């Protein structure tokens, strides 16, 4: 085994111990309000950041920003630790957060709404490849997109015609994801013994692809356009993707029954049957998370463990956001628990 990988995996095992355990979640869910939640989190990685918020001004929005800021520091800390052979892949993996910022800026540019840098994920300057401030300052969506010209996302500019034709922002965001996942898959080739990491990345590519196609079909986008935006499948066959792009969203689970995603298909089917279409994204995230956990458990000494850790850390941030927001909205404990990726 590559000694630099041994080092990185060992450090990641150490970082993994900082993540919240099931018992932590149980205790967090028992806290009666946001102040008690903050008190509980003081003993965790979130402590230094949450302690900066005065008890009078605690709200789920501020806490959400703290959770994402801790996630960013975890992700980029790992990239800093990574030896050169693995850093490029991890750096590309972390570009998803830059893409999230790009999406946030483009959304506001389309409607002309104001957006500040405080609404963006705090990506360390040394790792940022996109000039977010320039994108924010650009007067139009087109001008904002021009800033991406010098990046690998330059092809997105061609997709603005689709946005004009359909008025659907998802087309633009899907096109960004397509470029991102294509490059991520490509960079897998530079990782030695990439099969296990491929399971995590591939599952995410396929499931996000399915989610994107369902989303676009639900908005009556024609199958050809859906296909042009869809990603290159990983474990799905081209034929499956072709069928999904042409099917009604409620028929997608039946198509997936014949693919390696049967468990996901049955969960998706019950979501449609219960009429809870808004939960599709949660079902997708939950499947991606389960895959990351199982791969990390199965291969604790592999690079896949590191990618699994990054996925789990992201889900932890999402879980804490759900807990804080759920508490603020006075949702019952059981309801909040049902939204968590555990």
For residue 16, give the H/E element and its range. Answer: helix 3-16
Rule CB under 8 A: is residue 342 a binding residue for other proteins?
no
Q: Which string of b and e fits 179-213 if b means at least 16 CB within 10 Å?
A: bbbeebbebbeebeebebbbbbbbbbbbbbbbbbb
Please, what is the end-to-end C-alpha distance for the chain in angstroms? 31
CB of residue 256 to other proteins, shortest distance in Å: 16
Cα 152 to Cα 342: distance, rounded to the nearest angstrom = 35
Using rule CB under 8 A, residue 97 touches other proteins: no
Query: What is the maximum alpha-carbon separation in the chain?
Result: 56
Residue (83 or 167) nearer to other proteins, CB:
167
Residue choice 13, 87, 103, 152 for contact with other proteins (CB under 8 A): 103
Q: Which of 33, 158, 281, 298 binds other proteins (CB under 8 A)?
A: 281
Out of 16, 87, 110, 182, the only residue in the binding site for other proteins (CB under 8 A) is: 110
Residue 39, SS3 per DSSP: helix
Number of residues that bind other proteins (CB under 8 A): 42
Give one word for 44, left, alpha or beta, with left for phi > 0 and alpha for psi -120 to 50. beta
Q: Does 279 help bind other proteins (rule: CB under 8 A)?
A: yes
Closest-CA residue to 135 (of 123, 125, 143):
143
Nearer to other proteins, 90 or 102 (CB): 102
Which of 8, 50, 58, 68 touches other proteins (CB under 8 A)? Answer: 68
- Please tell me the distance from the alpha carbon of residue 88 to that of residue 91, in angstroms, as a whole number: 5
The 187-206 contact track toward other proteins, x by CB under 8 A, reads --------------------
Nearer of residues 155 and 168 to other proteins, judged by Cβ: 168
The structure tokens 């939950």 sit at: 286
Min. distance of Cβ 182 from other proteins in angstroms? 20
Interface pick for other proteins out of 50, 230, 282, 311 (rule CB under 8 A) = 282
**Token digits for 148?**
């991406």
**Nearest alpha carbon to residue 85 among 171, 161, 193, 180:** 193
Q: Which of 151, 170, 242, 250 binds other proteins (CB under 8 A)?
A: 170
The residues binding other proteins (CB under 8 A) are 60-61, 64-65, 68, 103-104, 106-108, 110-111, 113, 115, 119, 166-170, 172-173, 211, 214-215, 218-219, 277-282, 318, 321-322, 325-326, 329, 331, 336, 339
């Amino acid at each position: 085994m590559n000694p630099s990988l041994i080092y990185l995996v060992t450090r990641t095992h150490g970082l993994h111990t900082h993540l919240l355990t099931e018992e932590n979640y149980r205790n967090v869910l028992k806290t009666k309000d946001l102040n008690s939640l903050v008190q509980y989190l003081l003993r965790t990685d979130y402590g230094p950041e949450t302690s900066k918020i005065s008890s009078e001004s605690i709200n789920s929005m501020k806490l959400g920003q703290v959770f994402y800021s801790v996630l960013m520091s975890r992700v980029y800390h790992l990239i800093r630790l990574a030896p050169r052979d693995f850093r490029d892949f991890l750096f590309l993996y972390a570009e998803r957060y830059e893409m999230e910022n790009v999406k946030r800026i483009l959304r506001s540019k389309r409607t002309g709404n104001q957006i500040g840098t405080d609404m963006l994920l705090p990506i360390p300057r040394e790792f940022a490849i996109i000039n977010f401030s320039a994108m924010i300052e650009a007067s139009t969506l087109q001008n904002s997109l021009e800033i991406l010209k010098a990046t690998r996302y330059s092809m997105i500019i061609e997709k603005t015609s689709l946005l004009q034709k359909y008025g659907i922002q998802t087309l633009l965001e899907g096109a960004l994801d397509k470029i991102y996942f294509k490059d991520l898959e490509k960079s897998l080739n530079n990782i030695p013994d990439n099969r296990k990491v491929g399971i995590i990345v591939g599952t995410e590519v396929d499931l996000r692809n399915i989610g994107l196609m369902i989303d676009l079909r639900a908005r009556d986008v024609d199958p050809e356009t859906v296909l042009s935006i869809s990603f290159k499948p990983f474990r799905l066959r081209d034929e499956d993707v072709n069928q999904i792009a042409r099917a009604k969203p409620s028929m997608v689970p039946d198509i997936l029954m014949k693919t390696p995603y049967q468990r996901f298909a049955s969960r998706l089917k019950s979501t449609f049957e219960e009429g809870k279409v808004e939960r599709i994204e949660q079902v997708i995230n939950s499947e991606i998370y389960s895959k990351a956990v199982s791969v990390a458990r199965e291969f604790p000494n592999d690079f896949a463990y590191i990618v699994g850790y990054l996925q789990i850390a992201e889900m932890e941030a999402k879980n804490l956001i759900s807990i804080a927001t759920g508490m603020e909205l006075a949702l019952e404990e059981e309801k909040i628990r049902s939204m968590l990726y555990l």
